[in-house]
């Protein structure tokens, strides 16, 4: 494909996203599936264009408005191409598979666009986040707002978690090196390896043999901080597709019982194939009808450890899902906060006396993080704050994370991971 055809494909994807609101990765998968003639290099170029526009939507729209150009996906793509030094007249030429041409008057306006105008633009424009979220982001990130939002505009690395049931990090790294793949050990997670570029990981024999799973380093840390042990009863209450369940099962060396629960049967169904590939046999799955499922009452006070990786705004994963920042609304956050409290209120019943409860999100927002931890502590006097291991005890610098007495948080600029939050509690032992 020529560059013009790649740009036209990107515009089509952007239009479809606006119409359907489907997640970007799902949208692209469907688009490429219907167009199998598109080669791998063209797919990579289209994906890069697509995600770049989504990451810079506010900035690009502002530049269009400064010269009174219409803010539509064709214009967004055009101004981004121009900022990359590409000639619009050559790309938007109306030829087959190419975008329609701009009138001469519009091209003249494009030529007047000055990126220096961004210096005086509002903060939400420069840093590409929804204007309505500004107060919450300022309250949550403080003087880290700018650097964290800039980091959210970068492409995330590809991280994998080594499956210690089958291999070691050094052994897997050496195996990958023999295949010409360069990976570095993650600095925070003891199980992680990182690739800077795109790698066809699912085609590797080591993946098919269950030697690793794709998982952000920050997500790996959440599992590690639970400090689960062999022989315990552990419940992953919002397990999704089971990434953290698999990590904890490896920590338990397949000994004990690990229940992976979720209301989404399709996502939980993926865990069956994943656990078989990983050689995990101590995970049992249960589809919940809701957070109040009768299963919770039936298993009350049985668990040594309960992990609640709660449904959340996903603001901590904007590097990987840049489109989600534009789909989120204030009402969404309010509903999520209420759901998180309902989940906490129900799932806490599963923790036995002396057991531990971990509440986690992939959110940047205090409303979903620190404020929820404080709410839970106030509502549940039979639980007390559980001090988490200090970073230096875990083998990395405290400067890489934000820590409190019973809380732990990673951030993209600070930690070079997605943003995750964890709060830890223990149920008081019975006298």
Closest C-alpha to 3, from 35, 49, 37: 49
200 pLDDT more than 90: no
16 pLDDT more than 70: yes
227 pLDDT more than 60: yes
Q: Are 280 and 248 in contact (CB under 8 A)?
A: no
Percentage of residues of the chain with pLDDT beyond 70: 100
Closest C-alpha to 258, from 283, 295, 292, 226: 283
Closest C-alpha to 317, from 402, 202, 410: 410
- The pLDDT of residue 281 is 95
Q: Are 359 and 310 in contact (CB under 8 A)?
A: yes
Distance from C-alpha of 31 to C-alpha of 54, rounded to nearest angstrom: 17
- The pLDDT of residue 198 is 78
Q: Which of 261, 312, 362, 400 is catalytic?
A: 362
285 pLDDT more than 70: yes
Paired strand residues for 160: 193, 214
DSSP strand E in 146-300: where?
158-162, 184-185, 192-195, 212-214, 233-236, 257-262, 283-287
- The pLDDT of residue 393 is 86
Give the global pTM.
0.94
Distance from C-alpha of 296 to C-alpha of 420, rounded to nearest angstrom: 26
Burial pattern 276-303, b for ≥16 Cβ within 10 A else e, equals: ebbebebbebbbbeebebeebeebeebb
- Cα angle 428, 236, 271; round to 5: 165
Q: Is 362 a catalytic residue?
A: yes
Distance from C-alpha of 133 to C-alpha of 314, rounded to nearest angstrom: 13
Give the ranges where 99-254 is alpha helix by DSSP (H): 104-111, 123-126, 134-141, 145-152, 169-178, 205-208, 217-225, 243-251
The string of pLDDT tens digits covering residues 361-407 is 999 999 999 999 999 999 999 999 999 988 888 888 888 999 998 99
- The pLDDT of residue 261 is 97
CA–CA distances in Å: residue 320 to residues 78, 325, 403, 412, 419: 23, 11, 24, 11, 11
The string of pLDDT tens digits covering residues 55-64 is 999 999 999 9
Distance from C-alpha of 84 to C-alpha of 63, rounded to nearest angstrom: 14
Count CB atoms within 10 A of the CB of residue 172: 20
- The pLDDT of residue 431 is 52
Contacts of 393 (CB under 8 A, 6+ apart): none
**Under CATH, what is the fold of the domain 217-427?**
Rossmann fold (3.40.50)
Burial pattern 135-164, b for ≥16 Cβ within 10 A else e, equals: ebbeebbeebbeebbebbbeebbbbbbbbe
> Helix (H, G, I), strand (E, B), or coil: what is residue 183?
coil
pLDDT band at 299 (very low <50, low <70, confident <90, very high): very high
Domain coordinates of the chain in residue numbers? Answer: 3-121, 217-427
Average pLDDT score over residue span 216-231: 96
């Amino acid at each position: 494909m020529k560059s013009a055809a790649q740009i036209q494909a990107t515009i089509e994807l952007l239009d479809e996203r606006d119409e359907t609101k489907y997640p970007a990765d799902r949208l692209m998968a469907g688009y490429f599936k219907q167009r199998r003639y598109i080669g791998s290099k063209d797919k990579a170029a289209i994906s890069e264009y697509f995600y770049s526009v989504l990451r810079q939507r506010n900035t690009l729209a502002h530049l269009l408005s400064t010269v009174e150009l219409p803010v539509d996906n064709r214009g967004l793509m055009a101004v981004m191409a121009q900022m990359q030094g590409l000639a619009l007249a050559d790309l938007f030429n109306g030829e087959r598979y190419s975008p329609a041409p701009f009138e001469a008057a519009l091209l003249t306006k494009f030529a007047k666009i000055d990126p220096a105008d961004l210096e005086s633009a509002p903060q939400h424009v420069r840093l590409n986040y929804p204007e309505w979220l500004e107060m919450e982001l300022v309250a949550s990130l403080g003087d880290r707002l700018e650097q964290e939002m800039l980091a959210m505009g970068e492409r995330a690395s590809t991280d994998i978690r080594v499956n210690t049931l089958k291999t070691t990090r050094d052994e897997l790294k050496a195996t990958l090196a023999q295949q010409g793949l360069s990976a570095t050990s993650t600095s925070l997670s003891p199980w992680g390896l990182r690739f800077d570029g795109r790698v066809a990981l699912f085609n590797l024999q080591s993946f098919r043999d269950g030697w690793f799973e794709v998982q952000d380093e920050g997500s790996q840390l959440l599992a590690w901080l639970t400090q689960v042990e062999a022989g315990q009863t552990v419940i992953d209450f919002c397990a999704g597709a089971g990434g953290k369940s698999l990590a904890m099962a490896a920590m338990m060396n397949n000994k004990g019982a690990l229940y992976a629960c979720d209301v989404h049967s399709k996502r939980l169904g993926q865990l069956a194939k994943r656990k078989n590939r990983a050689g995990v046999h101590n995970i049992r799955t249960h589809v919940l009808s809701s957070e109040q499922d009768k299963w919770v009452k039936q298993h009350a006070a049985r668990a040594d450890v309960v992990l609640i990786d709660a449904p959340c705004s996903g603001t901590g994963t904007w590097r990987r899902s840049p489109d989600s920042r534009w789909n989120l609304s204030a009402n969404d956050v309010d509903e999520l906060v209420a759901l998180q409290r309902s989940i906490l209120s129900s799932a806490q019943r599963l923790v036995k006396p002396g057991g531990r409860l971990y509440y986690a999100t992939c959110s940047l927002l205090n409303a979903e993080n620190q404020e929820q931890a404080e709410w839970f502590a106030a509502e549940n006097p039979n639980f007390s704050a559980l001090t988490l291991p200090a970073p230096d005890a875990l083998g990395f610098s405290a400067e890489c994370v934000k820590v409190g007495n019973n809380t732990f948080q990673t951030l993209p600029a600070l930690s070079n991971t997605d943003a995750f939050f964890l709060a830890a509690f223990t149920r008081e032992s019975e006298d």
